[in-house]
Chains A and B, each alone.
Chain A
Amino acid sequence: MAKVTIDGHTVEVPDGTTILQAARAIGGEVAPPTMCYHSKLKTSGGYCRTCIVKVSKGSDKDPRPMPKLVASCRTAVMDGMEVQNNTSPEVLDARKGVVEFLLMNHPLDCPICDQAGECHLQDLGYDNGGEKTRFDFERRTFERKDIGDKIQLHMNRCILCYRCVKVADQLCDGRVHGVMNRGDVSEISTYIENAIDNDFSGNMIDVCPVGALTDKTFRFKSRVWFTKPMDAHRDCKKCSGKVTLWDKGDEVLRVTGRKDQWGENEEWICNDCRFEHKKSSDWVIEGPRKIDRHSVISANHYMKLGVPHYKKLEK
């Protein structure tokens, strides 16, 4: 076990835990924001640098601070380590720089993008970004691409977090690579399309932190905050069948996996559940999904009025 102090909060975690996981164990504001790290995907993290923290004391045995800010998702804790996240102006300043880099080529099309309202980059920019861009050049642009008939790729919005590549790697068989080219022109590309026949390829949509991979069956149907998230399940041979339905009236507009408080999937769901079952009658509804009260998705949702109605359905 290792004792680690993050922003003045001490927590004891097993050896080998990363700083990020230790911070999440404390919870709340202490946990650094993440874009590319996904707890259910192996080897994810380490690309976006959003979760950088300052290690002001290495460990009890070697109290020297680490020379540079480190990515908390890839750094393991040591006994007696002291970490600064929000309490260090250096970290906040560096994170602001990271956001600026991420937004450099990201189009400002939130009013059109289907991800708006549940977009991690939006939250990150709002919390840590600057008010204006200092980037004078043209943003890189790509053509919109269809990956299969249900998923759409907007490469313009991609921040190259590699999460979808990991999904294709770890959940779908028969693919080798996911990103073509390098640097400024790198692009999520063709090999990923080959993974589309797989039953779990739809999870790419869920793991995408921005609006680069979106559900074509939900395209422009509604803004996220006009839909009502409901927990539901069905008997599915391929997956757990536990999903979140996004309803508008009696209509099911979209089906996604259930996401935890960090916006990461609890379980993977199959394409059959995601794309083919868009009727309320296909599902057993468990009740309204609790979304953070501060999220725009919770706007105008009157939980109390709904409660008796949902209880009746549970019988």
Chain B
Amino acid sequence: MKALTNRSKIAVDKEYTFMERLYFPAIIKGMMITISHLLKKKATLRYPEVQKEFAPVYRGKHVLKRDEKGAENCTACGLCAVACPAEAITMTAAERKKGEEGKYREEKYAEVYEINMLRCIFCGLCEEACPKEAIFLTDEIVKTSYDRQDFVYGKDRLVEDMNKRIDITKRQKKY
């Protein structure tokens, strides 16, 4: 039978040479490789004590931003939901009442805003579509859970905490 490639070698039952019969050179050669790896930099990190630095534009869990006064930027315009290829975002809008000007920036706001993190593919199109600079992806990671319902993130987990503000200046578009 003709070989398919010229790389195949025909095995021959030939006798070992003297050097091969000593074994030590081969052992030392192998040990050298092992020892050289001990000295090399480790490819892994000791997670969770040491954590890898994220890229400034990493696309993790979403945040609904507030402005400097603490009012929510989101006006429930629905552009993120229509841009979402995974159809992970749903929202219900409501009208701002008198006296709520400090809570919501515009006349209309999202009463319910939900992202299903199991559907979300973290593509960042919602962030790109947002005309109000309200939704941003952050370097936080969505937590694991045993319950599917836990992955539907409502406003309680998406809206920014004013005491722990999230810096998104690095990912804001520059015009």
Contact = CB atoms under 8 A, between A and B. Distances in A.
Partners in one complex: yes
Nearest to B95: A220
Interface string A92-118: 000000000000000001111000100
**Which among B78, B95, B106, B107 has the greatest number of chain A C-beta atoms within 10 A?**
B78
Contacts of A111: 75, 77, 79, 106, 108, 131-132
Q: Is the interface of B mostly helix, strand, loop or mixed?
A: loop
Contacts of A109: 106-107
A207 to B, nearest CB: 24
A281 interface: no
A301 to B, nearest CB: 11
A70 B63 CA distance: 51
B106 A112 contact: yes
A206 to B, nearest CB: 22
B150 interface: no
Interface string A189-231: 0000000000000000000000000000001111101100000
Given A112-B106, A220-B95, A299-B82, 8 more contacts: A109-B106, A111-B108, A112-B77, A112-B108, A221-B93, A222-B78, A222-B93, A225-B82
Contacts of B77: 110-112, 116, 223
Contacts of B81: 226
Q: Is the interface of A mostly helix, strand, loop or mixed?
A: loop
Contact of A223 (B78, B94, B95, B106): B78
Interface string B94-125: 11000000000011100000000000000000
Interface residues of B, number: 16
A133 interface: no
Contacts of A112: 75, 77, 106-108
Contacts of A116: 77
Contacts of A110: 77, 131
A300 B93 contact: no
Interface string B67-85: 0000000011111011000
Contacts of B79: 111
B41 to A, nearest CB: 48
A2 interface: no
B140 interface: no
Interface of A: 109-112, 116, 219-223, 225-226, 296, 299-300
A269 B79 CA distance: 31
A220 B78 contact: no
30 contacts: A109-B106, A110-B77, A110-B131, A111-B75, A111-B79, A111-B106, A111-B108, A111-B131, A111-B132, A112-B75, A112-B77, A112-B106, A112-B107, A112-B108, A116-B77, A219-B95, A220-B76, A220-B95, A220-B108, A221-B93, A222-B78, A223-B77, A223-B78, A223-B82, A225-B82, A226-B81, A296-B82, A299-B82, A300-B82, A300-B87
Interface string B41-60: 00000000000000000000
A222 B95 CA distance: 12
A116 B87 CA distance: 20
Interface string B131-146: 1100000000000000
Given A111-B132, A220-B93, A220-B94, A225 B78 contact: yes
A116 B78 CA distance: 10
A294 B116 CA distance: 28
Contacts of A222: 78, 93
A110 B130 CA distance: 12
A296 B79 CA distance: 10
Contacts of B94: 220
